Structure 1
Amino acid sequence: MASQTTADALKQFKAFVREHPEMVQTVREEGKSWKDVFEEWVLFGEDHEIWEDYGIDIRKGEAEETSSSQGESIQHFIEFISRMDPDNVNKHLDQINGALTNIHDIITQIMPQRSHQYISSRPAHMMPQAGQQPPTFKRD
């Protein structure tokens, strides 16, 4: 199984090198081994900026891919929306709403207890008195 994936990866790497012949010259000039280049390809993938060191302009391919991939993305999104079941979506939204309501109820139950505990844990001289005004501060 592992040898099969390695063989597939090697085929894909060879295709990558064929697409970018300028890479061959750079590897020869720098004296790198193809094993090291293959390991970098496995680690970083084809779209990493490391390939710019080998003379490959990654951004040029991205610009062409972006325009075609945006159209494909919109098409996939429309297909995804058309396959959605409105009843199923409504069911999931109701479940989420119920969960949020339960969380809100729990927080509401906990918060008054904490504020009550905070007030009762104050010393008596710090408790607000009825009709008492807050202290005023004067400027020097």
Structure 2
Amino acid sequence: MTQKKLNPSVLKFKEFVKNNPKIIKEVRNGKATLQELYEDWYLLGEEDKRWDDIGSENDSEPETNNESKGDWMSNIMGMVKKIDPNQMQNHINNLSQALGAIQGVISQFQGGNAASGSVKPQEGPKHPFSFRKD
């Protein structure tokens, strides 16, 4: 495999990143790009306090975020498992009837006095969201 010869400063930065895995975590978390970090490293040097601050912020935050995301997802999945399809069908039918009634009232107001007797609310299928059992 042929490999391009990299600038010596880029090689030094790659070695710096290998020695500081917290920098990779910062990039993976989307807090910075490698380009931005390289530019900071090039301008500030390896001994700057910015490199010490990177790890202290990121160590505790992702764990709590992952735990809360996991709890949130498990709560949603638990609720989905508890849903009764028949009860959901009844709720959808009630909502459909309510929307039909609202559409009828709106169409009466929009139609004016001349067309008020001939305007009918649109009738759709009785069960537009039917659940089928496997």
Query: Which interval holds the TM-score relative to the shorter structure?
Result: 0.3 to 0.5
Higher helix residue share: 1
Q: Larger C-alpha radius of gyration, 1 or 2?
A: 1
Question: Taking CA–CA contacts closer than 8 Å with sequence separation of 6 or more, which of the two structures ends up with the larger relative contact order?
Answer: 2
Q: TM-score, normalised by structure 2?
A: 0.38
